Amino acid sequence: MSQTNTRLGPLWSPMIPTKSQGQDDLCAVSARGVRIRYADGSDLLCGTSGLWNANLGYGNAAIARAAADALTKASYLSLHQYENTYARQAAAELIEVCGPQNYGRVLFSTSGGAANDLVMKLARQFHVLRGEASRKAVVALEGCWHGLTYGAFALTSDNLGQRMYGVDRRLVVHVPPNNPERLAAMLAKHGANIAMMVVEPVLGTGAIPLTDAYIGELIRLRRQYGFLLVADEVATGFGRTGTFFASENWPSPPDILISSKGLTNGTSACAAVIVSHDVADVFAQPDTVVAHAETQAGTPVTCATILATLSEMRRLDAVARAASLSERLDEELVRLAGEEPLVSGTTGKGCFRSIRLRDRSGTVLPQSEVPTVIAAIRDAGAVVHAAPDGIQLLPALTYGDELAELFGCIRSGLAAYRRGRE
């Protein structure tokens, strides 16, 4: 006979150890601008844009009005064997932002992970339609994060129990980032069987930017071997790295681009898969159907929030503000590295940064210590995100004087952590 565990509340929180669930200091009550209020009464500065979603800050009134209007006028309308005008308009505007000279069609999804699942289907079906049914393998980078749905979980390289959960990785190959020699060697053996390669322009786990040289070689190898190149811009899109999409600066655009998170400023469960003309044209054959559909994908409210977010990005000149904020981040990070003995270096690009930490002996800070550092920074007044060997900073693109406040909290938190280890 089973027994109910009365010590835990009814909410089973994801990615939180059981012993930490139910704590009021981790239970958010409200959010406004760049601050989050928690159930324990604390009011903290957000240094993560709400898990990289709220690029324009919390509580944007124009996005909220657009969502309310769509819910009132249309409520729920499906894209499953139907269309709706909201989705048509959102797709058209996304194509315009991404570049109509390169991209032609948009499929909607509900998350970055589900979108990666969809893209793997697209890539394999694309090659079948071209008479290359043997192309089923997918290449991803070591240190990448593409989601936790079953397909995306196979792509995500971190060891998070994929074997335990029975995730099938037989058709997934991981190669190290910024190592063109290893990539070329793998493709020399298996290139004829590769359907696609998916990359984050800045690897989300460690905030590691792909180098220009690596991207150039990746594009050359795409031409040589014929696989599709996918840019997973779930984290880097919507101004995060100083341009609307990071892949805008590539010498040749990806075949498929994935967007989520900042796509709706975090207000809707939404993702978009933006497909090039060359790929879309192969699917234009009569009666070709992509076997993928999600009940909440492309609904009026999600598409209304996409349109409102695009409008607000323009009104606030968010991309230019992100570029300016990036320069200020450079200055603050250099100053912090010169002052704080725990800081061993920084990585990242634009408003997507990582601070690498070391212990008193100068060795890499053990990953088990990172939660203690984050807690110390929370106690000092700011929320930051964990990274390998340190912390990530992803401030809202609308930050002003808050940047100095954020670094003040980081300094205070690191100093408190050091004192606790003396």
Token readout for 358 is: 């070391």
Provide the 3-class DSSP secondary structure of residue 3. Answer: coil
pTM: 0.95
Sign of the four-CA dihedral 140, 142, 145, 147: positive
CB count, 10 Å around CB of 296? Answer: 17
Determine contact, residues 8/22, Cβ cutoff 8 Å: yes
pLDDT reported for residue 8:
85
Token readout for 297 is: 């994908």
pLDDT at position 279 over 60: yes
User: Which residues have a Cβ under 8 Å from the Cβ of 406 and sit 6 or more positions away?
Assistant: 45, 47, 382, 393, 395, 399
Token readout for 308 is: 């409102």
Long-range CB contact pairs, 289-293, < 8 A, 24+: 290/107, 290/118, 290/121, 290/122, 290/125, 291/121, 292/107, 292/117, 292/118, 292/121, 293/79, 293/80, 293/81
* pLDDT tens figures, 61-96: 999 999 999 999 999 999 999 999 999 999 999 999
Pairing of strands 343-349, 352-357: antiparallel
* pLDDT tens figures, 23-38: 999 999 999 999 999 9
- Cα 21 to Cα 29, 80, 94, 174, 273, distances in angstroms: 16, 37, 39, 33, 34
* pLDDT tens figures, 161-199: 999 999 999 999 999 999 999 999 999 999 999 999 999
Residue 126: in which H helix or E strand, if any? helix 112-129
pLDDT reported for residue 16:
87
* pLDDT tens figures, 133-166: 999 999 999 999 999 999 999 999 999 999 999 9
* pLDDT tens figures, 313-365: 999 999 999 999 999 999 999 999 999 999 999 999 999 999 999 998 899 99
pLDDT reported for residue 5:
52
pLDDT reported for residue 286:
85
Domains of the chain: 20-56+317-420 (3.90.1150.10), 62-315 (3.40.640.10)
* pLDDT tens figures, 360-381: 889 999 999 999 999 999 999 9
Determine contact, residues 405/45, Cβ cutoff 8 Å: yes
